[in-house]
Chains A and B, each alone.
Chain A
């Protein structure tokens, strides 16, 4: 066991700064200046955007990148706040839970880029003639790509708080508010951070897609990497696309190193285990902050503030322990509540029907179903192809620890990288070789999401127990038998996790992948994604609603009928240890 270093927490430490203080201080001040500068830009009037349009000068890229990063940051903060409130209500109130959790489940499968159509109009009307409206629409799009899985994770953690800790909190008289900050939040932390990281990595795709958006007659181009690329496409400027890709590389690495690594390393203490195991994650930034005397002193007010907040005596309704006698829920209230929900649902269904039937008929529905099935076929074929390629590769890498150590961050990075930045490169090739867009646009859907399969399989193969490998070789398992009896069952649960993410991401990506352009050349594959994209561009709201609803239903059905049973099978039968 590592000896505990008491000096770091000794009370009478000196306040003299050391070298690390200077480095860390510069980092902090730099970050603050950047945030203030970026923030000033967003309150400018909308006409400002037209006077200083996005330019392809690479010198502007750092500032564009900053705007993009700030949008991401704002979205993740909103997602976290939303998560705390939504998950807490759903976990503590049985009646709210009945509605909130299924809603969350559906929201998870709504194509985010479809959302954008409505939110842009909504936020632009909310802040007419200000950049803020368009900014908020963009932030909201990222938010919708991040919030749901974080909320799910938090909700599940809150429902699974160990009973003994719950009893300890109760018997030591912690108030509901104290309990939330002292027990629920810390317990949920590891899952929440992991999901936030996954959300972030998905979010880059949407921040890029939401910066240059056309809805009917409204075209908004927010300064950022996404709009820079959009302009590059318009002007057929391949070098500009490469500059943008390079900048994005840098931004994602910086985000990972400066934000997530430190958070993961710090949050290691929240992992719920009673014995220390494995290697603790490390972060040079966190080490820097822990080594600096003055900076640590700077964080003291924050922890004091945190203490005060969590000790505030705010009366919150307590979660009723299930063992309490005579607290049977009232049937009458339940009945009323369910009737109320049903009435609301019926009203919503009727409204939707009326709205859609005013301008759409049966042929539209048939068309949407046909397009939906085409896109479904694409997703199935692409996931199968990616599986055939990346499972063997992932296993091969994962069984070589040295190699896996190097490849794993790369695969995670590729999963985070917004693939839509790289689309133009492929489109140029399709255009110049005159390839069939119905076939060759399809791979774009999985360009960014296939990496989820790779890195999950690598993780699975790395975790494959050595004794099982040794047993397999001592039994002379070889060839197909080794694959199907040993390693594939071993990595299966990991593979499924990756494939679910990849498949969900591909559906979303179809909206930007099934239509592409390079300058004046427009390519279009038939499919549900293209249907939604065209309807969005035309500002045809009924068709957008219909397309989104169809995609929502398809994704939900696909998840329920294929992925969930597979996932359950993997968890039940093939989870090692």
Chain B
């Protein structure tokens, strides 16, 4: 155990829950412990919905923990603590302020006088490579330049801890890489006026490239599943076998089964009717099945390999893999994705037969699909309002998840021609489209 003085941030047993649609609480963070010391870059790596952004916001003083202790330099975090600055995924720049004014904003709030403000802002702008853009408005800049403003705005207050919430995920691949290396270069040269960095990411390679320590989060509820130390020195080489090995092992860890009893729903929260579905287009699913079935995979692919071929982030490929696993078209384990027999059959079928197979699997393996179909068959009118199913879903999950699940149900059900859905009246029916109009 560390003494409190050298710990910049100390998180003990923090839980956080949000109210569900049914009025109950949905636990998103469970008993999280985290200590951040001076001089390290710590990464929070996990799937969307694993609560890593919530943890970041607890440290930023934007969200309060439901229970547990969060402190910054020994002081309990109630309001945004001094000495902590944040960089946002969406940049969060004020569009009506110029680059210079945006950067000065944080200093103004601290009541620093104009001359000092200007001096510090200009030096932060200089440091982050924004020279010449001082009087430009954010909308005149490219995404990469905008995020540089975000960095300058955070650095100008000379924070001890820099929080980064998926800072590169809104940028294109090339821009993101440039910004990452620029930042790491400044960090190893000791030119950043900060002591530590805490970054949230769902990009495994990014975490391995930048962090000294990675906390892997498991989902539902968010928990620290593993802590991985990255001992490689900066600058790191993505092609280094050591680097590849680490990325592979993290992939494997994220697809590891926690409980062998329920293989089909791993990674997907809930069970039975309460299974929360992640919206994935049926087009993308069939595309992935075809890719997996064809050369060079022949039904068996290494996740990092296929992710980089399809230019997908870890989070996306995992969602796809899990959806295929749920439908029993593929099998996910130890960082590999393997087609099942049904999946291989699907790849060789014509459109109509594919739809029939898809429909069979939906009814058999997605409980809410079976329920909707049963209700529609039983009712004399063969119609049912969406609200009926939404209410039932909200007993198990938050409104947001219920919405997403219902959206998925509608799009998969339409593809499989299991039922029709009228957006206007929000009703499911067995009518063929067109007959009602």
Please say whether chains A and B are actual partners in one complex.
yes
Which residues of chain B are within 8 angstroms of A274 by Cβ–Cβ distance?
91, 95, 138-139, 146
For the complex, give the distance between the alpha carbons of A270 and B146 in Å: 17
Asked if B105 and A182 make an inter-chain contact with CB atoms under 8 angstroms apart, the answer reads yes
Q: Which of B43-99 contact A (CB under 8 A)?
A: 57, 60-66, 80, 82, 84-86, 88-92, 94-96
Segment with Cβ contacts to B, from A141-149, A169-177, A437-445? A169-177
CB of B108 closer than 8 Å to a CB of A: yes
Task: Verify if B344 is at the interface (C-beta below 8 Å from A).
Answer: no
Q: Does chain A have a CB within 8 A of B111? A: yes
A171-B62 contact, Cβ under 8 Å, with A164-B92, A274-B95, A323-B18: yes
A325, B64: Cβ atoms under 8 Å? yes
Contact across chains for B139 and A168 when beta carbons are under 8 A apart: no
Interface residue B137 (Cβ < 8 Å from any Cβ of A):
yes
| Complex Cα spacing A6 to B89, Å | 29
CA–CA, A269 to B98, complex, Å? 10
Whether the pair A326, B64 counts as a contact (CB closer than 8 A) is yes
What residues of chain B lie closer than 8 Å to A325, measured between beta carbons?
A: 16, 63-66
Contacts of A573 in B (CB 8 A): 424
- Give B63's nearest chain A residue, CB to CB: A323
Q: A1-B140, A276-B140, A325-B66 are in contact. Are A173 and B80 (CB under 8 A)?
A: yes
In the bound complex, do residue A270 and residue B85 qualify as a contact, i.e. CB atoms below 8 Å apart? Answer: no
Structural contact, A171 and B138, CB atoms closer than 8 A: no
A171 in contact with B63 (CB, 8 Å)? no
Residues 203 to 231 of chain A near chain B (Cβ within 8 Å): none
Taking residues whose C-beta sits less than 8 angstroms from the other chain, chain A's interface range is 35 or more
State whether the Cβ of A521 lies closer than 8 Å to any Cβ in chain B: no
| Bound CA–CA A326/B18 (angstroms) | 11
Q: What residues on B are CB-neighbors of A172 within 8 Å? A: 80, 85, 105-106, 109, 153, 157
CA of A175 to CA of B105 in the docked complex: distance in angstroms? 12
Chain A residues with CB under 8 A of B63: 321, 323-325
Are B64 and A269 in touch, CB under 8 angstroms? Answer: no
Give the nearest-CB partner of A270 in chain B: B96
Bound CA–CA A573/B136 (angstroms): 38
Best-surrounded residue of B60, B91, B94, B138 (most CB of chain A within 10 A) = B94
From A168, A311, A323, A324, contact of B108 by CB (8 A)? A311
Q: Given A276-B139, A323-B18, A573-B424, are A171 and B95 neighbors across the interface (CB < 8 Å)?
A: no
**Is the CB–CB distance between A324 and B64 below 8 Å?**
yes
- Return chain A residues, CB-CB under 8 Å to B135: 4, 6, 9
A1 to B193, CA, bound (A): 33
Give min CB distance, A445 to chain B, whole Å.
35
Does B239 lie at the interface of the complex (its beta carbon under 8 Å from any beta carbon of A)?
Answer: no
Is B92 in contact with A174, judged by CB distance below 8 angstroms?
A: no
Bound Cα distance A383, B418 (Å)? 46
Complex Cα gap A573–B424 (Å): 8
Q: Quick one: which of B61, B95, B105, B424 contacts A270, CB cutoff 8 A?
A: B95
Judge if A138 is at the interface, Cβ distance under 8 Å: no
- Residues of chain A within 8 A (CB-CB) of B2 are none
Chain A 265-298 residues near chain B, CB threshold 8 A: 269-276
Is there contact, CB below 8 Å, between A269 and B85? no
Are B105 and A165 in contact, with the CB atoms below 8 A? no
Closest B residue, CB atoms, query A318 = B79
The complex places the Cα of A2 from the Cα of B140 at a distance, in Å, of 8
Contact of B94 among A4, A173, A186 (CB under 8 A): A186
**A276 to B, closest residue via Cβ:** B139
The interface bits of chain A over 1-12 (1 if a CB of B lies within 8 angstroms of the residue's CB, else 0) are 110101001000
Does B110 reach chain A (CB closer than 8 Å)? yes
6 nearest A-B pairs in the assembled complex, by CB-CB distance: A164-B92, A172-B106, A168-B92, A186-B96, A173-B109, A270-B96
Given A174-B105, A182-B94, 17 more pairs with CB closer than 8 A: A1-B140, A162-B90, A165-B94, A167-B57, A167-B92, A172-B80, A173-B80, A173-B106, A269-B96, A269-B137, A271-B95, A274-B138, A311-B111, A313-B111, A325-B65, A326-B66, A573-B424
30 pairs from A and B in contact (CB 8 Å cutoff): A4-B133, A4-B140, A6-B132, A162-B90, A162-B92, A165-B92, A165-B94, A167-B57, A167-B60, A168-B86, A171-B62, A172-B80, A172-B85, A173-B82, A173-B106, A174-B105, A175-B109, A182-B105, A183-B94, A186-B96, A270-B95, A273-B139, A274-B91, A274-B139, A276-B139, A321-B62, A321-B63, A323-B62, A325-B16, A325-B66
